[in-house]
């Protein structure tokens, strides 16, 4: 008998940014966040897990290269939590269920995009890992329950358990049992939304999110203002904008939150710079594009957002995709070939 399952999960791109932990072991955030999960095939992790009593230990390969699983690290924690759920929710309830929780697992995961280039590979990676083990173990769990486990792999991973528009509620409990992802709206609610990923650089980033955000927590006063006075209001505003399909309001909040995330990075000691000159030129282009749109119609047509790296994500509606792609290509000429200096993916069928 072969016990094996494969699952795939996409990247999500935050509009309200997660930056800062109040508990680094359980990965509990200092503020709630909200993202859009991409639905195209370009940016996904696909993971296969197999349980077999003949395996000597749990092992994991990422893009073909073995990664050590060190307890009590994040990978080991996720695998142990899922084995525990298998035992408690399946094997203890049904004596005939195979005792998969006692078998070592082998896990192979592939990203179809550059790892750790500020393109949220840990989000799709841990979401796919948790989904594949949950399928292998036939866990009777909702995506929100699985998000509690994915969160312990990488905070932003909890949001990739859902498609569409997803909130990670920070929660208030010390054990983290209320710090989970919930669906704000399915992708089908607003299918006209597109995300254009502009790969400015696919180099590995200089400051990892994990260490960068803790330095921010320790040193930035602006972060405290953001946590208390800014994010709660913005979470409400963006949820309302999504529910009402109000792109102008969505764009305004998304750009403001990207700006503030990079401001708290700059307010960190020593300061962290994630954007580069090309990133800033793309901001200028989108600001000008929106200025003209507002003059004509009173509304914004595009929203930029940047994570812990220089790559731009531009949210826009289907009707503007062609125009924006042409604009980007005009001002940032593409070299032939896949990588240099600037790679643009334009989704065909929604985010």
- Applying CB under 6 A, the residues found at the interface with ligand 2P0 are 14, 17-19, 27, 33, 122, 154-156, 209-210, 261, 307-308
For ligand 2P0, the closer of residues 17 and 194 by Cβ is: 17
Helix (H) or strand (E) holding 80: helix 74-86
- Between CA 76 and CA 70 the distance in angstroms is 6
User: Exposed e or buried b for every residue in 314-333, given b needs 16+ CB within 10 A?
Assistant: bbbbeebbeebbebbeeebe
- Answer whether 11's CB lies under 8 Å from 43's CB: yes
Q: Indicate the SS3 state at residue 239.
A: helix
Planar angle of CA 138, 144, 146, nearest 5 degrees: 40
- Answer whether 312's CB lies under 8 Å from 279's CB: yes
For ligand 2P0, the closer of residues 134 and 231 by Cβ is: 231
DSSP 335: P
- Between CA 343 and CA 307 the distance in angstroms is 17
How far are the Cα atoms of 29, 150, 174 from residue 143, in angstroms, in the given order? Answer: 19, 10, 21
For ligand 2P0, the closer of residues 98 and 176 by Cβ is: 176
For ligand 2P0, the closer of residues 90 and 180 by Cβ is: 180
177: CB partners within 8 A, 6+ apart: 148, 171
Closest CB 29 distance from ligand 2P0, rounded Å: 8
Closest CB 323 distance from ligand 2P0, rounded Å: 27
Closest CB 156 distance from ligand 2P0, rounded Å: 3
Closest CB 14 distance from ligand 2P0, rounded Å: 3
Closest CB 306 distance from ligand 2P0, rounded Å: 8
For ligand 2P0, the closer of residues 101 and 220 by Cβ is: 220
For ligand 2P0, the closer of residues 232 and 341 by Cβ is: 232
Closest CB 164 distance from ligand 2P0, rounded Å: 16
Residue number with the smallest Cβ distance to ligand 2P0: 155
Closest CB 121 distance from ligand 2P0, rounded Å: 9
Backbone angles phi, psi at 252, to 5 degrees: -60, -50
For ligand 2P0, the closer of residues 122 and 268 by Cβ is: 122
- Answer whether 48's CB lies under 8 Å from 4's CB: yes
- Between CA 181 and CA 75 the distance in angstroms is 19
Q: Indicate the SS3 state at residue 314.
A: strand
For ligand 2P0, the closer of residues 131 and 154 by Cβ is: 154
- Answer whether 82's CB lies under 8 Å from 5's CB: no
Closest CB 205 distance from ligand 2P0, rounded Å: 10
């Amino acid at each position: 008998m072969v016990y094996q399952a494969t699952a795939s999960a996409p990247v999500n791109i935050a509009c309200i940014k997660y930056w800062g932990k109040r508990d680094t072991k359980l990965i509990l955030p200092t503020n709630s966040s909200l993202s859009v999960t991409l639905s195209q095939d370009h940016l996904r992790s696909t993971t296969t897990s197999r349980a077999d009593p003949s395996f000597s230990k749990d092992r994991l390969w990422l893009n073909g290269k073995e990664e050590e699983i060190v307890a009590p690290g994040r990978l080991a924690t996720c695998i142990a939590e899922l084995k525990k759920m298998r035992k408690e929710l399946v094997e203890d309830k049904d004596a005939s269920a195979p005792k998969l929780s006692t078998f070592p697992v082998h896990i192979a995961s592939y990203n179809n995009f550059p790892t750790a280039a500020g393109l949220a590979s840990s989000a799709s990676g841990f979401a796919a890992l948790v989904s594949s083990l949950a399928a292998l173990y036939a866990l009777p769990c909702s995506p929100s329950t699985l998000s509690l486990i994915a969160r312990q792999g990488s905070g932003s991973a909890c949001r990739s358990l859902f498609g569409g528009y997803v909130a990670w509620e920070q929660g208030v409990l010390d054990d983290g049992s209320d710090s989970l992802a919930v669906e704000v709206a399915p992708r089908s609610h607003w299918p006209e939304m597109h995300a254009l990923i502009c790969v400015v650089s696919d180099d590995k980033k200089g400051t990892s999110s994990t260490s960068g955000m803790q330095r921010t927590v320790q040193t930035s006063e602006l972060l405290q203002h953001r946590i208390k006075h800014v994010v709660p209001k913005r979470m409400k505003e963006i949820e309302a904008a999504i529910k009402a399909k109000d792109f102008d309001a969505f764009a305004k909040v998304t750009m403001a939150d990207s700006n503030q995330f990079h401001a708290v990075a700059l307010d960190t000691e020593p300061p962290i710079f994630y954007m580069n000159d090309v990133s800033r030129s793309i901001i200028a282009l989108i600001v000008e594009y929106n200025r003209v749109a507002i003059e004509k119609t009173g509304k914004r047509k595009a929203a930029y957002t940047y994570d812990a790296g220089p790559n731009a994500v531009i949210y826009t509606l289907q009707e503007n995709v062609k125009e924006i792609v042409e604009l980007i290509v005009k001002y940032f000429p593409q070299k032939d070939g896949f990588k240099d200096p600037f790679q643009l993916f334009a989704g065909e069928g929604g985010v």
